Amino acid sequence: MMRVVRAVTDLILPMAVIAYLFVGEVRAQEMLPKAPPVPEDNPTTPEKVLLGKTLFFDPRLSFDGTVSCNSCHNVMGSGDDGRAASVGIRGQVGSRGAPTVWNAAFLTVQFWDGRAKTLEEQAKGPLVNPIEMGMPDHQSVINRLKKISGYRELFEKAFGKKDPITIDNVAKAIAAYERTLIVPSRFDRWMAGEKNILSKKEQEGFEVMKTVGCFSCHMGPNFAGPQLPLGTGFFQKFPVYPSDYDKKYDLLSDLGRYEVTKDPNDKNRWRVPTLRNVALTAPYFHNGKVKTLDEAVRVMGKSQLNVDLTKDQVEKIVAFLKTLNGEFPKQEMPRLPVGDGGSSVVE
């Protein structure tokens, strides 16, 4: 199955690049759509979104009650945790950084290595990852939620009265909430016709990125590749070109998608990440070894395009990337439902 998918994406990647070469600017300049793609079996409803937001913020979804989805994907901030590698229960540190959840609904696969095809599938992972939220299994998540009596009404409103508290519905609700986490930026207002909203330097940065080839991968409305069907990943080798950065920033030891497929061709291949909010989501790359955006731009130039970007080019690119900083919406806090008969947390 994985091999089939990879074969398909291996076909699609060059096809997309060819399409890009033909369509040129237009491909690289798409505005962020108002709403992301939604899977047929999980239409977004206000009730599901409210439940999903509540679950997203509830640390009782972790074994010891200390880690919520929001702990690593902080939507009061940039949708991440500002750390090189995220921290789960009992202070355990993972090996990769948390990607931002803002606009993640536009990504066609989830996780750095694309091992989840949908937001729904992604949401189930950290719950039972022993170094993340650490629940022993999905049934334990459901048992805990059933103990918190206040959740019943939220689930019934979202999914009906017949056995609504299931792990699939937990994942559907969280994904439905995440599909509301769409954040356009000044760039989109520029695209919509506010021509003076980007400075000369920012516009020059955009031109530099087109010219040197950044958009051959970071194309599309989310600057993360073409909008392929959900579940179809858009992967790229990183680094493509060997350089001193490989050792300096330990770019090769994590084999990326290979850890999922065990296909030697997938060694050091990664899902192309979004550039939206990139200036807000330091540190950089899967291992967070690069601390600043200007250095991340230099590494990308060298490793992916074999270009030694000049100081001027880097400054302009950084200026442009900041135009992708989201103009974040106001959100109301959810109220975490209460249980009967004491705390539901295990210590």
Residue 292: CB minimum distance to a copy of itself, A: 4
Count other C-beta atoms under 10 Å from residue 31's C-beta: 14
Sequence-distant (6+) residues with CB within 8 A of 21 are none
Q: Between residues 78 and 303, which has the closer beta carbon with respect to a copy of itself?
A: 78
Could you tell me the smallest distance in angstroms from the CB atom of residue 75 to a copy of itself? 8
Q: Return phi, psi of residue 17, to 5°.
A: -65, -40
Closest to a copy of itself by CB, 219 or 296: 296
Q: How many CA atoms lie within 13 A of 174 on its CB side?
A: 28
Residues 64-100 as b or e (16 or more Cβ within 10 Å = b): ebbbbbbbbbbbebbbbbeebbbbbbeeeebebbbbb
Task: Tell me the closest approach of the beta carbon of residue 172 to a copy of itself, in angstroms.
Answer: 21
Which among 208, 101, 144 is positioned nearest to 343, based on CA atoms?
144
CA distance 10 to 145: 41
Least Cβ distance, residue 85 to a copy of itself (angstroms):
7
Measuring CA to CA, how many Å separate 232 from each of 24, 25, 58? 22, 23, 30
CB of 17 or CB of 131, closer to a copy of itself: 131
Tell the smallest beta-carbon distance from residue 50 to a copy of itself (Å).
Answer: 12
Q: Which CB sits closer to a copy of itself, 33 or 77?
A: 77
Asked if residue 212 lies in contact with residue 307, where contact means CB atoms within 8 angstroms, the answer is: yes
The DSSP secondary-structure symbol of 236 reads E
Angle formed at CA 282 by CA 297 and CA 260, multiple of 5 degrees: 85
What's the CA gap between 126 and 184, in Å, rounded? 27
Smallest separation (angstroms) from a copy of itself to the CB of 33: 23
Identify which of residues 18 and 338 has a Cβ nearer to a copy of itself in the complex.
Answer: 338
Nearer to a copy of itself, 57 or 215 (CB): 57
Q: How far apart are CA 25 and CA 272, in angstroms?
A: 19
Catalytic residue among 120, 132, 178, 295: 132
Is 207 an annotated catalytic residue?
no
Q: Which residues bind a copy of itself (CB under 8 A)?
A: 57, 59-60, 64-66, 71, 74-78, 81-85, 87, 89-93, 280, 282-283, 291-293, 325, 328, 330-336, 338, 341-345, 347
Chain-centroid distance of CA 59 in Å reads 20
Residues serving a catalytic function are 132
